[in-house]
Chains A and B, each alone.
Chain A
Amino acid sequence: MKIEVVDCKGVKVLALSGDIDMYSSPDLRKELMHFVHKKVSPLLVDFRGVSYIDSSGIATFVEGLKSMMGYGGKLKFVGIPEKIMEILCFAKLDRVFEIYGSIDDACRN
């Protein structure tokens, strides 16, 4: 998994690529919690390059979201591949995370 931090018109975007699994999710958690501790909001996560996610990756985002809710922060997902969307729906997390088709849409809302 690769993590790239992009500044998009003043909004922080975590652009992820590759597989998010038990091996890589600790790195993701470290990066995500770095922004959570700084109370960054909104924080966008760009999934367009993500080929795989397991339950440890999903748990990392649930933990991040819960921490952000503590300061009224917004965690927004962008460009989720179909198979990953299917897993989020199965886990009923599509109702919990804010999900957008594009970075522009996520920034507008």
Chain B
Amino acid sequence: MECIAAMKDSAVISIPSDPKYLSVIRSVVAAMGGICGLGDSAVEDVKLAVDEACANVIRHAYRGDTGQKIVVKFRVIAKRFEVVIEDNGVKAQPHLIAGRDLDDVRPGGLGIHLIKRAFDVFQFDERKRKGNRLRLVRRIGGGQ
């Protein structure tokens, strides 16, 4: 793990693209979610979703290379919990990202459903030239 930097209601963490560091990400997501006012159930949902998104970076963007870097940024703006995940790996093709039909029981294809279940916004920033920047936003309050 490289560093954690924080400003008011925001934090940045950088981890190696190694699955053993996913537990670190989960701990930070849970802590930030709680600080930012998410309820317990919502915290569990966003923790799982960010873990899934980072696992996708390791699996797809870095193709299993554990020596790369993943940067995860958290912030709260106007009752929205925002998570931005950045990598320098292979570009995702958003139009090809789709989970499996949940009625089609087979291994794989569930992660994307778990991400979209937890966040209201799932959006790749197409302005990033190299690698990917995935922006996830969840509204705070209401039915959480």
Contacts and interface: CB of A to CB of B under 8 A. Distances in A.
Contact of B107 (A19, A59, A92): A59
Given A54-B48, A54-B55, A56-B55, A91 B102 contact: yes
Residue from A21, A63, A90 having most chain B Cβ neighbours under 10 A = A21
B59 to A, nearest CB: 8
A96 B117 CA distance: 21
Given A62-B106, A87-B48, A91-B102, A55 B111 contact: yes
A93 interface: yes
B26 A52 contact: yes
B113 A91 contact: yes
B103 to A, nearest CB: 6
A91 B20 contact: no
Contacts of A34: none
Contacts, number: 61
Interface string B102-139: 11011110110110010000000000000000000000
A92 B48 contact: no
B52 interface: yes
Contacts of B22: 21-23
Contacts of A15: none
A39 to B, nearest CB: 20
A59 B52 contact: no
A91 B108 CA distance: 11
B87 interface: no
Nearest to A29: B107
22 contacts: A21-B19, A21-B26, A21-B55, A22-B22, A22-B59, A23-B19, A23-B23, A52-B47, A52-B48, A54-B51, A54-B52, A54-B111, A55-B108, A55-B111, A59-B107, A59-B110, A62-B106, A66-B106, A87-B114, A90-B113, A91-B113, A92-B102
Q: Which 5 A-B pairs have the closest CB atoms?
A: A23-B19, A59-B107, A55-B110, A55-B111, A22-B19
